Structure 1
Amino acid sequence: MKLNCSAIMVISALLTGCAHPIIISPDEQKISSNLSSNDNREYTVGYYISPKDKALEVTTLGGGGDNVRYYPYRDIEKGYKAMLSNVFVSVTKLDSIDKSDSQLQNKIDLILTPKIITTSGSTGFFTWPPTNFSVDLTNTITSVDGKIISEPRAVGTGGASTSEKLSEHGIAGRRAIEDALLKSQVMLFNVELPQKKNSTNLVKSAKKESSDASILERLKSLKELKDSGLINEEEFKSKKKEIIESL
């Protein structure tokens, strides 16, 4: 018995199962922080997800012999930015990480690039939505010149009951991404980072302002001594010259 091409394709699909599209975008309200805004780390960071990664469609196991397919980088982006905003004082989306970009050099302290590995599966034989999901998220932190500073890694897991996965097909994946982001948030807040490139200048500036204020107070006190007659004009001029020369 000969089978035509259409029959072969149908049989193949029945044997291998289908790949159902799902969305695993996290709920941004779940990506919260217990820190006040004053606790944010004083770094201006940029995050970069390449066009290639955004277009990457991944297929993993579902239930009943079927698979599921989704776009992990595209789905995570809004939640990823929300998580970074909980940690750092300023977060910018980067369209490029070209070292020669002058805007990048002047405005960004650190660059974060996510790497995502996902797995899924299901205990259900008669339904296809996955009941378990994992998201392995590595956050590569680099300096503007491309030097790797740290690569904290968090593995998030998520599950769903039969009733839940029928109403929201990607719920296990969403929960796994939320878990990975919240774990990453803790890691990024505690990871050791280099001193900011402008921190030395800020310290020097603060010291200079303090010194200037001290000198003004000394001159003011000196004038008060002269006005009250406790020192004469010659002593006033001599001491004033000494204070000014200390600048």
Structure 2
Amino acid sequence: MPSRLLALFALAVLFVLGGCAHPIQLTPDPAQLMGKGGGQKIDRPVVLVVSDAQLAQEVVTPGGGGDKVSYKPYKDLQTGMYIALGEVFTRASLASSLSDPRVGTDPATVVVTPEITTTSYSPSLFTWPPTVFTVTLEFAFRDSKGTRTITTVRVQGEGRAEFDEFKSDFSLSSKRAAQDALTRMVKAIQEQADTLRRWSTAALPTAEGAPH
């Protein structure tokens, strides 16, 4: 009990000294995402497009004790999203815009534009790390020009952490939420695999050079 009270006091001091928005991270463990795909991958190149503006975007949501937390969701999740796509497609790459050379002009290329929304909450009156965190991922799968949407996949992940856990990692609930969302995304994309394969095959040029 004394050690718990001491830890509580230490967190309360951090709350007072840290200002109104405490920085946390949503970065998942890449090793826990690898191998989630399994099965036959979609034999098409996929490009994840995350703009510089998205990478710089900072989000502020509630923490405990009336305080708030701040983080950069696109920056923290970029690598995880790339790994998730690589678990389903045979070739994955990153780009910062549709005009990026890595997108190219191959009509079989699938372009993914992500949208991330988050929530956080904690009932604590004395500590600021959130005990409940959610990450909603929405992937729009488009053609290489970004003008045609093939399909949209949306998932939500949740992460929870109690005091005894997050006293050594203030970002624990957010990391767990990110991990959960990305794991769910791999499964959700796999469920759309036939749609993505059919579209990609139809997008390939015919022998005469004209699309089907």
Q: What corresponds to 2:48 in structure 1?
A: 47
- Cα offset for 1:96? 2.3
Q: Is the contact made by 1:44 and 1:107 (CA closer than 8 Å) also made in structure 2?
A: no
CA offsets per residue over residues 24-53 of structure 1, 9 Å max, x none? 1011112133444x6111110000011111
Q: What corresponds to 1:156 in structure 2?
A: 157
AA paired with 2:200? Q
Q: Is the contact made by 2:37 and 2:186 (CA closer than 8 Å) also made in structure 1?
A: no
Q: What corresponds to 2:177 in structure 1?
A: 176
Percent identity, aligned pairs only, is 33
Show structure 1 runs of 5+ residues with no match: 1-13, 202-247
AA paired with 2:35? S
Q: Is the contact made by 2:47 and 2:111 (CA closer than 8 Å) also made in structure 1?
A: yes
Matches of 2:102 and 2:135 in 1, distance apart? Answer: 35
Cα distance change on mapping 1:103 and 1:56 into 2, 3 Å = closer
SS, match of residue 152 in structure 1: strand
Show structure 2 runs of 5+ residues with no match: 1-15, 208-212
Matches of 1:118 and 1:79 in 2, distance apart? Answer: 16
**Is 2:27 the counterpart of 1:25?**
yes
Q: Is the contact made by 1:156 and 1:176 (CA closer than 8 Å) also made in structure 2?
A: yes
SS, match of residue 159 in structure 2: strand
Q: Is the contact made by 2:48 and 2:112 (CA closer than 8 Å) also made in structure 1?
A: yes
Matches of 2:119 and 2:40 in 1, distance apart? Answer: 34
Matches of 2:65 and 2:36 in 1, distance apart? Answer: 41
Q: Is the contact made by 2:107 and 2:144 (CA closer than 8 Å) also made in structure 1?
A: no
Q: Is the contact made by 1:138 and 1:153 (CA closer than 8 Å) also made in structure 2?
A: yes
Quote the RMSD (CA, aligned, Å).
2.3
Q: Is the contact made by 2:120 and 2:130 (CA closer than 8 Å) also made in structure 1?
A: yes
Instruction: Report the TM-score, using the length of structure 2 for normalisation.
Output: 0.80
Matches of 1:91 and 1:72 in 2, distance apart? Answer: 20
Matches of 1:86 and 1:187 in 2, distance apart? Answer: 12
Matches of 1:68 and 1:166 in 2, distance apart? Answer: 15
Q: Is the contact made by 1:46 and 1:108 (CA closer than 8 Å) also made in structure 2?
A: no
In terms of fraction of residues, the more strand-rich structure is 2
Query: How many matched pairs?
Result: 185
- Cα offset for 1:115? 0.2
- Cα offset for 1:173? 0.5
**Is 2:93 the counterpart of 1:84?**
no
AA paired with 1:124? S
Q: What corresponds to 2:68 in structure 1?
A: 67
Q: What corresponds to 1:185 in structure 2?
A: 186
Instruction: Report the TM-score, using the length of structure 1 for normalisation.
Output: 0.69
Q: Is the contact made by 2:109 and 2:200 (CA closer than 8 Å) also made in structure 1?
A: no
Cα distance change on mapping 1:103 and 1:59 into 2, 3 Å = closer
- Cα offset for 1:189? 1.3
Q: What corresponds to 1:133 in structure 2?
A: 133
- Cα offset for 1:106? 3.0
Q: Is the contact made by 2:26 and 2:171 (CA closer than 8 Å) also made in structure 1?
A: yes
Q: Is the contact made by 2:84 and 2:182 (CA closer than 8 Å) also made in structure 1?
A: yes
SS, match of residue 127 in structure 1: coil
- Cα offset for 1:165? 1.5
- Cα offset for 1:164? 1.4
Q: What corresponds to 2:200 in structure 1?
A: 195
